[in-house]
Chains A and B, each alone.
Chain A
Amino acid sequence: MKDNDHILNLQETEQLCRLYMECQLSVLEERELQYILGKMDYSSPIIDEARQSMMAEGLLTPTNLLATSKKERKKPKFKWLRLTAGAAASLAIVISLSIFILKPDGDNAVKMADNHKVKESTSSSEIVIAYEGGKKLNQEDSEKAVTESIKKAEALMAMAQAQIKEEESKQEYFIHLISDKK
């Protein structure tokens, strides 16, 4: 057997494999061959046969094969591909999710209402737009018109609340009146 430091060439490895297949190697030599087949990516019919035989005997496992036959070489490649595909899918999900989250609310109608850019409004945090008589009002007039409009809405809501309370108190009055009579 060669020294540990000596790197066997293909022919020497084939010779060793041939001896292994003929059961002419000592236990120590088999171990060395096992080590060589695990480390080196030599490939020839006799080497592959010896490698498969060792694998069948459990002397050689796919985990201690770093780069051997084509089949074994694919495994880390697939793992890498799988990781890349997974990372790409996760990235795509994160991007689509961020677009979904960062889109300016569900407020499409505000955007649609203003065919021009919303930038024209007072500030980025507040949007005030008004159209009257088929024309868009300027910022100052828009703010006045919108303020008036909001006041009108609030007055109507207050009126509706007052109406509900009035109706409820009427109902209560009649209920008390009926129960008193009984």
Chain B
Amino acid sequence: MKRYIIIIVCLCISILAMAKPPQLNVEKLFDGSYNSDKSVQIHISKNKDKYYRGFTVNNNAALVKKVTQLFKKDTDRAETSQDIIKDGGPSYSYMVIKNNNHDINIGIQYYSNSSCYLFINGSSEAFK
């Protein structure tokens, strides 16, 4: 019986030690709810090495606000972050989040108050 308990404990430890997905807030933008939104462009590419997602908003101030909020939530987990400010507001914000010892690059570029472009980029290992 002891043997089984030891095996189960070891398995639980291995499961806990396994890689986890980053569960980014900005990933919520890719949950399918904006697929039919006419003000949005979604670009997704994933292979065994690279992982990329792009989310472009055109003429939708409310959505730009939401994207910004999600981006800011993830900033708390960032290893490094950078804001380029122009005309009194950020024109470009960028951060690096580490997951599974790999970098995830997340950036958002503002074209105006109602248009922006967000990307998530990194090696596939970072998202496992």
Contact = CB atoms under 8 A, between A and B. Distances in A.
Interface of A: 82, 86, 89-90, 93, 97, 100-101, 105-110, 112-115, 125-136, 142, 145-146, 149-150, 152-154, 156-157, 159-160, 163-164
Nearest to A93: B11
A130 B43 contact: yes
B8 A89 contact: yes
A145 B40 CA distance: 13
B15 interface: yes
- Contact size range, B: 35 or more
Closest 7 CB pairs of A and B: A106-B21, A153-B119, A149-B54, A149-B43, A109-B30, A126-B47, A131-B42
Nearest to A147: B45
Given A82-B1, A109-B31, A153-B52, A160 B92 contact: yes
Contacts of A156: 92, 94, 107, 109, 119
Residue of B22, B43, B92 with highest tally of chain A CB at under 10 A: B43
Given A134-B38, A152-B54, A145 B43 contact: yes
A146 B42 CA distance: 9
A113 B47 contact: no
A22 B56 CA distance: 100
B121 interface: yes
Interface string B52-71: 11101000000000000000
A152 B34 CA distance: 21
A112 B18 CA distance: 23
10 contacts: A86-B4, A89-B8, A97-B15, A100-B15, A106-B20, A128-B44, A129-B42, A146-B54, A150-B52, A157-B94
A108 B32 CA distance: 10
A135 B9 CA distance: 49
A5 B76 CA distance: 86
Contacts of B45: 126-129, 146, 150
B112 interface: no
Given A105-B127, A156-B94, A113 B52 contact: no
Given A97-B15, A107-B46, A156-B119, A113 B35 contact: yes
Contact of B31 (A113, A136, A157, A159): A113
A157 B30 CA distance: 21
A112 B43 contact: no
B59 to A, nearest CB: 12
